Chain A
C-alpha cells in the first residue's frame, strides 16, 4: 500500500497540471458545444441558449462542413502516404553506404522542418506563381501546359500537399533514419549470403525491422495532417472556391473570427471522434500485421 501512495504523490504534480490545463478545458468545451455560446453570450449569460445537439445537427447539415471534411480527407489520403514515402526514401538515401556528404544532406532535408512556415510560404507563392513561377517554367520547358496552381480549385489542394510534404518529410526522415540504423548489419549479411536481391533485402529485412516505428510515424503524421490549417491559411486563405478549406480552418473561423465558440467546440469534437476512429483502425491493422 505504502509505495503505491508514494507513487501517487510523485505523479500528482503532472496529473494536476494535466487536469487543470487539459481535462478541465476539454470538459468545458464539451459543455460549450451543447450551447450557442457566441458574442452575445459573452456580454450576458442570459443570452446563452442550451441547445443540446443542435450544433452537431446543424454542422452535419452544413454543406461547407462536408466540403471542409472532404478536403481534409483528400489531403490526408494523398499527403500521408506521400509524406511517409518521401521520408522513407530520403532516410534510405541518407543511410546508404555509397552516399557522400551524408550529414550535410541530413541537415538539408531537415531544414524545412525548422523554417518558419510564413517565410516558406512567401517563397512557395513565387514557385507556384502562374506567370513567373519556377514550377510552371519547368512544366512548360518539358512541353506541358502551365497550371494555375493557386487559382484553379482542382490544383490548389495538390499544391498544398506538395508544400506540406516538402515542409514535413524531414521530421519523419530523422525518426526512420534512427530505426534504420538500429537494424543489425549481420541480418543484411546473412540475407546477402542467402542470395537475396536488393528489393528482397528491403522487403524482408528493412521493412520488418522498422515496422513498429513506421506504424508510429504513420499515426503521428496522420493526426498531424488531419489538423491541416497553417498551410492553406498562409497560402490560399482556404480558397479558391474553398478548395483548400479544412476542418480546422472551419473551426478557426467559427471560433476566433466569428466567435461562435459553441459551434467551434462541436467541430473540434467531431474531428476528435473521426481521428480517434482512424487511429484505432490503424493500430488494429498494425497489430494484425505484427501478429502474423
Chain B
C-alpha cells in the first residue's frame, strides 16, 4: 500500500527536484560519467591515471544502483539532464537508440588507435550495433554459464560437465536419483527469464521475425527450447521455485539442494566467498551445453555510450579510450571481478590462471544477442510468464506458444506503425 507518508515524501521530492537540476554551465572539458552498479564505487579510483595524463579534463563521477538505473536514465532523458558518458546494459541500447539519445561511434572507433574493434569478441561487439551502426563500446561482459557441483556429478558417475542437451539430461536424471525426493538437480528460478532466453537463443531460429515486427514463437525451434525447459520441471529435476523463495542460493548450492545453476560472472566471487570451506573445490563453471554440441549463451554485458546531447564529445571519447585499454581493463577486473570484452586483456596473468574464468573465455566465442528491439525486455518477461504457466500446469506448450506469439504481436504494434511511418516519409 502506498501510505500517506510516502505520498508526502514523493511530493517533497517533486518540489525539491528543480533544485537538483541546476548545474553549472558545462564546458567542453568537463565529462559527467554515470557509472551503474558496483562499478560506480571503483570508477573514481580507476580514472586517476587518466586525470594525470589529461589534466585539462575534469570528470564528474555519479553512482547509480542497477535497480534504479533504467528509470533514472529515462527520467533524465525526459528532463534533458543526461550525462556525457554512461555504462549502459547492452540490452537497453536499442531502446535509447529509438529515443535518438545515443551518439553513433563508428567514425570515432574507426579512427582510434586505442579501441581496436577486431580485438573484441564479435558476439559481444555485435550487441552494440543497431541497424549496422555502432552505439556502444563494450566495457565488461555478462554472459551466462553453467555452475555445477563437481563432487555430486562425480558421485553420479560423470567426470566432465555436459556438452549436449542429451548428456545434460542424463546427468540431471542421475543426480536426481542420487539426491532423492527432497533435493533437485538444477535451479531455474521461475522469476528469471534468462535461463529460458539462453536455451531459446541456442536454437537457430530468431525469436522475432520480419525485422522485429512480429513474434516468432510459433516456430518449431522455440517449441523445442520451451519443451526442454519445461521437461526439467515435469521430471522433478528443477524445483518450482523463485529466487526469493530459495532465500539463499549459495547456501542451498552448498547443501546440494541443486547441482546446476545458470548464472553470470559476478557469481564467481560470491560462490568463492560463501561456499563452506570443505566444499571450496567442489564446484566449477562450464560453458553452456547446446542442443547438439557446445551451445551459445546470451551476449550480455555493459557498454560505454556517449549521449547525443553531450557537449564534450572529444573529451568523453578520450575517457572511453582510456577505459578500454587492456591494462586498465585488467585493473578493473582485479577491482570488481568484471570480465573484459577484449581478447588481449584475457591474455593477462590473473585471468589466464583463474580456473573459474575459463568457461567464460570459451563461452565468449559463442554468444548471441537477444532481439534488438526496444520492447525486448517486456517480451522476455512474457516469455517467462508463458513458461511459468506451462510449468504450473495451467496451459500446454502449444497453447503457451500461441498466446505468447499473439501477445508479442500486440506489444510490437507501435513499432510496426513507426516502421511503416518511417518508410512512408
Contacts and interface: CB of A to CB of B under 8 A. Distances in A.
B98 A40 contact: yes
B2 A239 contact: no
B148 to A, nearest CB: 22
Nearest to B2: A227
Given A39-B98, A43-B98, A230 B1 contact: yes
B77 interface: yes
Interface stretch (A135-143, A185-193, A200-208, A240-248): A240-248
Interface string B88-124: 0000000100111100000000000000000000000
A10 B100 CA distance: 48
Contacts of B14: 21
Chain A: number of interface residues, binned into ranges = 35 or more
Interface stretch (B222-230, B317-325, B386-394): B386-394
A42 B71 CA distance: 13
A125 B71 CA distance: 27
Contacts of B418: 40, 47
Interface in A154-170: 164, 168
Interface string B57-78: 0000000000000010010011
A189 to B, nearest CB: 38
Nearest to B71: A256
Contact of B378 (A132, A150, A258): A258
A36 B410 CA distance: 13
Given A39-B98, A125-B244, A151-B240, A259 B74 contact: yes
Contact of A240 (B77, B99, B392): B392
Chain B: number of interface residues, binned into ranges = 20 to 34
B414 A168 contact: no
Contacts of B414: 36, 38, 40
A224 interface: yes
A241 B388 contact: yes
Contact of B1 (A132, A228, A240): A228
Nearest to B243: A237
A106 interface: no
Contact of A224 (B3, B95, B245): B3
Nearest to A225: B1
Contact of A230 (B2, B190, B241): B2
B166 interface: no
B74 A240 contact: no
Contacts of B374: 39-40
A229 B191 contact: no
Interface in B224-248: 240-242, 244-245, 247
B385 interface: yes
Interface string B368-402: 00000010001000000100110010100000000
B11 interface: yes
A173 interface: no
A168 B1 contact: yes
Nearest to B15: A21
Interface in A15-66: 21, 36, 38-40, 42-44, 47, 49
Nearest to B389: A241
B394 A241 contact: yes
Contacts of A228: 1
15 contacts: A21-B11, A39-B95, A42-B74, A42-B78, A49-B417, A125-B244, A129-B245, A132-B247, A151-B242, A228-B1, A231-B1, A235-B244, A240-B190, A241-B389, A257-B378
Contacts of A47: 418
Interface in B10-36: 11, 14-15
